[in-house]
């Protein structure tokens, strides 16, 4: 893979991380009584041209 491809992929993944964190934080702020709560989370990356669907599941939250 070329350096240009790797840089564009890293840029995309950074954007996914930053914008996802912002969206999650905003949703949690709106959830009354969310202190100490654990949320099930799933992220899906799809590249239709490659037939790729990558899914990552987990939990976020818990006691602070």
Number of domains in the chain: 1
pTM of the model: 0.81
Domain extent, residue 22, equals 3-61
Q: What does the alpha-carbon distance between residue 18 and residue 34 come to, in Å, rounded to a whole number?
A: 21
Q: What pLDDT does 63 receive?
A: 62
Secondary structure (3-state) at 62: coil
Write down the pLDDT at residue 41: 97
pLDDT tens for 4-55 read: 999 999 999 999 999 999 999 999 989 887 788 899 999 999 999 999 999 9
């Amino acid at each position: 893979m070329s350096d240009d491809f790797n840089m564009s992929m890293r840029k995309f993944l950074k954007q996914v991380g930053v914008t996802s964190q912002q969206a999650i934080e905003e949703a949690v702020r709106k959830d009354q009584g969310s202190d100490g709560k654990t949320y099930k989370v799933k992220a899906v990356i799809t590249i239709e041209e490659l037939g790729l669907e990558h899914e990552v599941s987990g939990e976020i939250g818990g006691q602070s």
